[in-house]
Amino acid sequence: MEQRIEEAARPRREVPAPPGLSRGAPVPWWVKLGMKLSLAAIGVHGGRARALGLARPSFDAATPAKLVEVPRAWLDRAEALIGRRPRTMLEIGPGGMVVRAPVLAGLGLRRVWFADPADSAPAGLAPYRAAAELARSQGLPAPDLAGCRDRGTALARCGASLLIGGPSALASIPDGAVDLVVSEAVLEHVRRDDMAPLLQQLRRVTAPDGIGLHGIDFQDHLGGGLQHLRFSDQFWASPLVGRAGIYVNRLGLSAMVGRFRRAGFEVTVAEAVVWERRPAGPRKPHPEATRPVADDLVARALIEVRPG
């Protein structure tokens, strides 16, 4: 079984990892770890850390590339794979990118769901109106958000809903209602115990001819290496590490592919960003973090999944 899973995880295309991938600030990984844990211990994490300028997304959510070009590429790829334009979409873990709702409506999606374990989307209307204006400037018929009283009415005008919570939050989506499921650097953050319930829900809501496009990071968040493999599960899965924003589930590519397959999906690894040699990390990983050697060379991957 393990050999079949590893064969299924073989990428169709490999891209060399660029030097300094996800390196971040030029300080030792253990300094970053200590700082993040210390701040989390005194309650400075998540939205509070972002408000103080101590944490920020790795991208600018207001750029045309993120707001328009990325979802357009998703829809084009989905159309190429399923032979029709998607009408409905679910994004897992969008964070602040919920502001794309007017753009997605302008691209022709009739119904959109955003699902996130916590609400980190902008509450004010200004970002949504700016996104709608950007979409219209690029020729997309985005909804007019004039007269919307709050975020909820703005999302409703775009045919969008924001679902907050774990896998059970997807229960309100009808069976087979979603043509396209997407996630960007999200699935690596899902707790291992939540992976099976989440993937079961994704299998339930995906249309019979639907498609899932998932970009997944496999490196640590301490400098873009494998330092996260040196710790026990008891420490790494602790609430403190979670609050510090550095938790990733440490599943390698083959394990991630295996979990999708067990949930009833057919999986294609469309592309993998790979290191030429094993990056910085423990010479011998903790026994609870051991995984196939080939997985340690995969920094990122794009997988395409469809109901089996």
What are the residue boundaries of the structural domains of the chain, listed by start? 2-307
3 versus 267: the higher-pLDDT residue is 267
Angle at 194 between CA 258 and CA 303, to 5 degrees: 40
pLDDT for 1 beyond 70: no
The residues with which 176 forms a beta bridge, in sequence order, are: none
Alpha helix (H) ranges present in the chain? 2-8, 29-41, 46-51, 64, 70-82, 101-106, 126-137, 151-157, 192-205, 233-236, 239-243, 253-262
What is 2-307's CATH number, 3.40.50.970, 3.20.20.80, 2.40.10.340, 3.40.50.150? Answer: 3.40.50.150
Which residues make Cβ contacts (< 8 Å) with residue 20, sequence separation at least 6?
224
Query: What is the reported pTM?
Result: 0.92
The model's pLDDT over 294-306, given as tens digits with 9 standing for 90+, comes to 999 999 999 999 9
The model's pLDDT over 204-248, given as tens digits with 9 standing for 90+, comes to 999 999 999 999 999 999 999 999 999 999 999 999 999 998 999
Q: Residue-wise over 283-306: b if at least 16 C-beta within 10 A, else e?
A: eebbeebebbeebbbbbbbbbbbb
The model's pLDDT over 42-72, given as tens digits with 9 standing for 90+, comes to 886 655 555 555 555 544 566 788 899 999 9
Burial (CB < 10 A; 0-12, 13-18, 19+), residue 197, is middle
Q: Provide the pLDDT for residue 2.
A: 47
